[in-house]
Amino acid sequence: MINIVLADDHELVRDGIKALLEDQQGIEVIDEAADGRDALEVLSRTNPDLLIVDIRMPELNGIEVVTEVTKTYKNVKTLVLSMHDSEEYVVKAIQAGADGYLLKGASKDEFLKAITKVASGGKYFTGDVSAIIMNNFVSGNATATPKKEVEADPFHLTKREKQILSLVLQLKNNKVIAEELKISKRTAEVHRFNLMKKLDVKNIMELNNKAKEYKLV
């Protein structure tokens, strides 16, 4: 039996995950938390096998929670479930000691695969990060984004986000983007949402103007 604690500040997300897992044999959600500090309190009295934690939470964020879990609850595995696929977040999560990193747009099958692998002592990271980079992360050689890249791109766009940006500016819809990049339509939607949020734009015109201004494509 894999005993799980969920930590996410959105009750709807927690309810959705519980509903998804309730019929799975060998997996049980034993408790939940609405913020980072509450998550650590729950861990102190439940001692689960796995903590599934969001990155952006009040009180303590997911990275801070993972850092504390790594130091204090060495038997508890951590799976970061996030809508953010930027290299910056992934680097920080793994440097904090996370055993896995998965996007909220992942399929049910991938989610269950990640839970099983992490709970059994393995590592599981979203496929949008290159294998070479991930191998460096897993071996403890994670490095920050090169300075020249940060200076050239103040938004820290990942390779995947740049691909999405190019296709969006070609006025391609999520279905077409998914087919071209060989990802699910839901994952394409998440990427598009993250991109618009990261660049702080509300429509294609604003996105196009900002992309030209900062020479992103």
Residue 99 gets which letter from DSSP?
Answer: S
Residue 149 is predicted with a pLDDT of 36
> What is d(CA 1, CA 126) in angstroms, rounded to the nearest whole number?
24
The predicted-structure confidence for 146-169, as pLDDT tens digits, reads as follows: 333 334 567 778 888 889 999 999
Assign 174 to helix, strand or coil.
helix
DSSP symbol at 139: T
**Which of the residue ranges 81-90, 91-100, 130-139 would you say has the lowest mean pLDDT?**
130-139
Measured CA to CA, the distance from residue 10 to residue 57 in angstroms comes to 9
pLDDT at 63 over 50: yes
Strand segments (E) across 69-144: 77-82, 100-103, 124-125
Show the tokens assigned to 115: 């839970």
Contacts with 38 (C-beta within 8 Å, 6 or more apart), sequence order: 7, 59
User: CA 28, CA 63: separation in Å to the nearest integer?
Assistant: 24
Residue 13 contacts residue 55 (beta carbons within 8 Å): no
The answer, yes or no, to whether residue 139 has pLDDT greater than 80, is: no
Q: Is the pLDDT of residue 4 over 90?
A: yes
Q: Is the pLDDT of residue 217 over 50?
A: yes
Contacts of 104 (CB under 8 A, 6+ apart): 13, 81, 82, 83, 190
| Cβ atoms 102, 108 nearer than 8 A | no
- Per-residue pLDDT, 145: 41
List of residues 6+ apart from 83 with CB closer than 8 A? 103, 104, 105, 190, 193, 194
Give the integer Cα–Cα distance in Å for 167 and 160. 11
SS3 at position 100: strand
- pLDDT tens-digit readout, 88-130: 788 888 889 999 998 888 888 999 999 999 999 998 887 665 4
Domain ranges of the chain: 2-138, 147-213
Give the fold, CATH level 3, of 147-213. Answer: Arc Repressor Mutant, subunit A (1.10.10)
Tallying the residues shown for the chain, one arrives at: 217
pLDDT for 27 equals 95
Q: By the 8 A CB rule, do 14 and 41 touch?
A: no
Provide CATH code, domain 2-138: 3.40.50.2300
For the record, the structure tokens of 190 come out as 């998440």
Q: Are 133 and 125 in contact (CB under 8 A)?
A: no
For residue 208, the model assigns a pLDDT of: 85
